[in-house]
Structure 1
């Protein structure tokens, strides 16, 4: 795996290094020793799989509140998505900055998201599927969200926002009281 740090400290785009032969390819998607090299020491306690039917759909921007903040590892296994993270660490020099990258079944990129980030994505294709590794169990009632079209962040989504859940479209806009995590 090749770890490339993004503009948001502690987050990485991870490129797989597939071994290819006449049968196809094989690649490691996790190795405790390799992830230790970027400071990852948490255990993956939950894996989730999402399916998004139609391109243009946005899911996010989600996070869990302390003490349930989590590290995530996200990979697209079918179709393509524009994956977005927002730094909501209150003491970070990149507080409220975002990073976005295309992840797809073809490019095999993964996004490593440290604690203190909101996460979401836009499906760039129909039939888009993502796998998520989580370092924390989902804790109902302690989740938060930032609206996908928050003007202070101004995410440049590649497609028009055609489909958004009622819950995601109702996340509050950030005000002067937003202190992050």
Structure 2
């Protein structure tokens, strides 16, 4: 596995090796000891999967606060998405900054997003399946969000999202300036 350090402290892009031949490929997509030694010493307690059928579906930006703050290891197992993390750790030198990467079945890349970041993605093709491991279980009382198109953050989505497919919840999330204190760097 290769690891790429990213411009926002704590984030990491992981690219598992693939061994291929005329039949296809084999890849170790997660190894606990390697992850703990090279990325973060965490325990994953749950794995989630979502299907987004329509191009331009936006999910996020989501996070959970303590005591159920989640780290996420995200990969796209079908389709292509633009995956985004926003630093919401007050006092961080990169507070309010974002990082985005294309994740797809073809590139096999994964994004590690530690607690203290809001996470979301937009689908670039139909029928995207996203699988992600989390370090804490879902907890409705700790569930929070950040507006996906907040101009103060300025995420540059790689497709027009004038008609983004959104949940009702994601349409009304707060802007960064309205976000209650959630994480301290």
TM-score (norm 1): 0.95
Alignment-derived partner of residue 123 in structure 1: 123
Match status 1:54 vs 2:45 = no
Q: Distance in 1 between matches of 2:154 and 2:134?
A: 27
Question: 2:172 corresponds to which residue?
Answer: 170
Cα deviation code 1:51-74 (max 9, x no counterpart): 001111110000001111111000
Please tell me whether residue 143 in structure 1 is matched to residue 143 in structure 2: yes
- Give aligned pairs, total: 181
Deviations 1:31-82 (A, max 9, x none): 1221122342221111111000111111000000111111100000110000
**C-alpha contact (below 8 Å) 2:153/2:176 kept by paired residues:** no
Deviates more, 1:34-43 or 1:3-12: 34-43
- Structure 1 runs (4+) deviating above 6 angstroms are none
Offset from partner CA, 1:70-123 (integer Å, 9 cap, x none): 110000011000000001111211111100010001111100111111000000
Deviation at 1:19, TM superposition (A): 1.3
Pick closer, same or farther for the CA change 1:99–1:45 going to 2, 3 Å.
Answer: same
Equivalent in the alignment of 2:30: 30
TM-score, normalising length from structure 2?
0.93
Bigger helix share: 2
The root-mean-square deviation of aligned C-alpha atoms, in Å, is 1.3
Q: Secondary structure at the match of 2:90?
A: coil
Indicate the residue corresponding to 1:103 in structure 2.
103
Q: Helix, strand or coil: the match of 2:140?
A: coil
